[in-house]
A and B are shown apart, each in its own frame.
Chain A
Amino acid sequence: MISGTAAYIVTRLEQEMERLPDPHNEIIQHLIELAYIPVQKANAMRSADVFKAKAQCLADIAASLLFDSAYLEKLLLIGEDFALKTLLRKICDIDQGLVIKTLPQGGESDLIARMIHYRLDVFGLWPRDVATPFSSFSLYQLGLIADFAKCTALQAFNFLGDVEQFTRYLLQIHPPEKFILIFQSPKVSDETKNKLDRRHAFKRQLIEDFGERSDFIKFLAHEILKNNPKKVDVLFLQKQANDPFKQFMLRLIQVHQWQDGFYGGLLDSDIGEVSLKSITDAIGFYNATDKRDIKTHRVITYVHRGYFVFNSLFFLQEYMIEDAGIENQSLEEKVLAGISTQLETANEGDRASFMANIDQLKKESYLHAAEPPQERKGLLQRIYFGTKRLLSKAFRFVHKIYGWVKDKIVEMWGFLKSLFRNFFEQLQTGIRAFLEGIGFMFGNKTIESAEDTEAIATKFSLDSDAVSISTKSIAAVHHGHTHKVRYKIRSLEFSLAVVGGILKMAISMVNVLTWPLLLFRIIKIFQDISASYMELSKIEMSIQ
């Protein structure tokens, strides 16, 4: 039996886990995004819908050959929800998304077809149901991207799974003036219009950046960014606002802003009040972190009749491309190590402030995710769960993160919420594994199976002695029970490895270990053990 202060540790970790997020709502969001649950059901979700969708999705994943079967099996041993969340996150990831080698045949409605339609949907190019079979219309829509990127439909699909690389590529192959975007946003408030009406300054900057080397820039400078806005060429503005490439670029920027946590509105290509605020927030964020003073007119100006001119070239180059060139795991490791080192040397007061703000981050990170995703105007209100870009940014600011949390820096709070959401999830899974391992060792775990009039119960004790008690006949439950026991024992291997890792760390750091440090160390231990457990480097995830 666990007693005294050992029980205290277990109780505190149980409490900690209760305050951490449940992956359930992320799973639901992805199931809706992939049309396993219709978006119309989002606001009135029934558990039967989720159950059915999970089963269908898991069957499609297994049939898709996107993942190695050994990888799937090991992932399931860490936990069913953890496995499904991890797989769905990979399928829906658009910054290190899965790569496919061939497009489906017409009429196929498998997971790959859903993935293709999902990515098109994120970029505003899929007006139909994501579950629709792959068809000539799918190819046509992929062809639109292929035209923008001067590539094949297959390359276009794979580009949509690496938004950063795709953006960099588009910036390389198109002339700079293609990224001077014009859009109309008639519903924006007069206050915002007045605040962003910096035509003269924008024009000066534009000429400074581009010169008057192209007709487009000359025309813009002389006919659009005029002193008297009433004399601007509205037809030109209209034509530019309807340019399909430029419309796509606006959507791409909305996606970038959504991925970075600056934009929390609907992915709808509508650059309204919320999108404009996300742009000015991004400028504020980088000014604060890089100690620069970029003015908003460097990026955007209001012109007339709801039309804005937006220098997306500067915006994308400065803020949206963040390739650290390092694998995610190393990035996470470096970010965590940076925080842990500062925690080890911090004084008690600073550590207390840090942890109070971490508790606050926990609450706020999951404020949206605490409730299932909602539908609005036929679209899904969704959160981006990919981590590559966040970690790249975090790596860039690794020495500042501890201070931002401790001092609760307002400009960084949105970024920190997104960044820590990922750490909190890993902490939760790490604590769960630890508690399961401890529970198995000290809880005399019983595994039970029953069907009709047959039943078996097997009880394992800490020294692995086993006692089974059953009804006389077990023909109906035998196979299932054996499978359940094997599964439990194999998942125990993972849990015990986490228990061992935590105990080892705790004993070696016993004189400096504090609760905050323990939590960050658990995240690190979970990452290390799951990486070696999964043998990630050996896994081929793109075998289509």
Chain B
Amino acid sequence: MANESDKIGQKKLKSGFQQLMSNIGEAIADAASLEVSTFTGDFTYTANQLVSNDVDKARIKNVLRNMTLESATELKLVAYTNVKIDSDVTTFVKSDLSQDDNELLKLHKEMIESSKASRQAMINMVKDLAKIG
């Protein structure tokens, strides 16, 4: 940092932050609705997918990628929820729920709450940014 000329650094900072704002703007433009999906599949994961450490019993590295790309298992949709900005909620749930599926449905509901909290944190940030000037 000390080696970089102030003028170059200043210019990069200016355009960098402007671009970051624009990136955020573009990305949240599609925020009119919230979609939460829960899938399950009949597959196993192997020991080499685990990375042990001191804190957790096991941590899966890139589980999602491994599950979807490396496993040939067909994924089944357990539930899908769409929450529109005007609070209209549409939910699809798999028929003939087993006991395991019911547990997944519970998880699905909890993920809706977390998604809403995540969305709210984003909205708070954007609202705060809108106060500039």
The minimal Cβ–Cβ distance linking B13 to chain A, given in whole angstroms, is: 5
B10-59, CB < 8 A from A: 10, 12-21, 23-24, 27-28, 30-31, 34-45, 50, 54-55, 57-59
The answer, among A352, A478, A500, A514, for a CB contact under 8 Å with B10, is A514
Residues A508 and B132 in contact, CB atoms below 8 Å apart: yes
The answer, among A2, A48, A489, A515, for a CB contact under 8 Å with B20, is A2
The answer, among B39, B44, B125, for a CB contact under 8 Å with A500, is B125
Residues B21 and A503 in contact, CB atoms below 8 Å apart: yes
A493 within 8 A of B: yes
Q: Which residues of A lie under 8 Å from residue B116 when comparing CB positions?
A: 464
A174 within 8 A of B: no
The answer, among B10, B19, B62, B108, for a CB contact under 8 Å with A468, is B108
A70 within 8 A of B: no
The minimal Cβ–Cβ distance linking A12 to chain B, given in whole angstroms, is: 7
Residues B34 and A457 in contact, CB atoms below 8 Å apart: no
Residue of B nearest to A491 (CB): B121
Residues B124 and A496 in contact, CB atoms below 8 Å apart: yes
A234 within 8 A of B: no
The minimal Cβ–Cβ distance linking B75 to chain A, given in whole angstroms, is: 6
B91 within 8 A of A: no
The answer, among A466, A475, A499, A500, for a CB contact under 8 Å with B115, is A466
Residues A451 and B58 in contact, CB atoms below 8 Å apart: yes
Stretch from A88-96, A314-322, A441-449 that touches the partner: A441-449
Residues A468 and B118 in contact, CB atoms below 8 Å apart: no
Chain A interfacial residues counted at CB < 8 A: 74
1/0 per residue, CB under 8 A from B, across A1-27: the answer is 111111011001000100000000000
The answer, among A352, A457, A467, for a CB contact under 8 Å with B2, is A352
B97 within 8 A of A: no
The minimal Cβ–Cβ distance linking B66 to chain A, given in whole angstroms, is: 9
B63 within 8 A of A: yes
The answer, among B12, B39, B68, for a CB contact under 8 Å with A470, is B39
Residue of A nearest to B14 (CB): A510
The answer, among B21, B31, B42, B115, for a CB contact under 8 Å with A460, is B115
The minimal Cβ–Cβ distance linking B127 to chain A, given in whole angstroms, is: 9
Q: Which residues of B lie under 8 Å from residue A356 when comparing CB positions?
A: 2
The answer, among A448, A466, A478, A482, for a CB contact under 8 Å with B60, is A448
A200 within 8 A of B: no
Q: How far is the CA of A213 from the CA of B58 in the complex (A)?
A: 75
Chain B interfacial residues counted at CB < 8 A: 74
Q: How far is the CA of A513 from the CA of B36 in the complex (A)?
A: 40
Q: How far is the CA of A348 from the CA of B8 in the complex (A)?
A: 12
Q: How far is the CA of A455 from the CA of B54 in the complex (A)?
A: 19
Residues A5 and B6 in contact, CB atoms below 8 Å apart: no
Q: Which residues of A lie under 8 Å from residue B112 when comparing CB positions?
A: 466
With A507-B21, A518-B13 already in contact, the answer to whether A473 and B106 are too (CB < 8 A) is no
The minimal Cβ–Cβ distance linking A32 to chain B, given in whole angstroms, is: 19
Q: Which residues of A lie under 8 Å from residue B128 when comparing CB positions?
A: 497, 500-501, 504
Q: Which residues of A lie under 8 Å from residue B20 when comparing CB positions?
A: 2, 6, 9, 438, 503
Q: How far is the CA of A462 from the CA of B103 in the complex (A)?
A: 27
Q: Which residues of B lie under 8 Å from residue A473 when comparing CB positions?
A: 100, 103
Q: Which residues of B lie under 8 Å from residue A497 when comparing CB positions?
A: 124-125, 128
Query: Contacts A460-B115, A468-B107, A504-B128 given; 6 further ones with Cβ under 8 A?
Result: A9-B16, A468-B36, A469-B39, A471-B43, A504-B131, A507-B132
Query: Sorted from nearest, which 10 A-B pairs have the closest CB atoms?
Result: A5-B16, A464-B119, A500-B125, A9-B16, A6-B19, A457-B63, A457-B64, A506-B17, A6-B20, A462-B27
Residues of A within 8 A of B (CB): 1-6, 8-9, 12, 16, 47-48, 51, 348, 351-352, 355-356, 359, 438, 441-442, 446, 448-451, 453, 455-460, 462-475, 478, 481-482, 485-486, 489-490, 492-493, 496-497, 499-501, 503-504, 506-508, 510-511, 513-516, 518
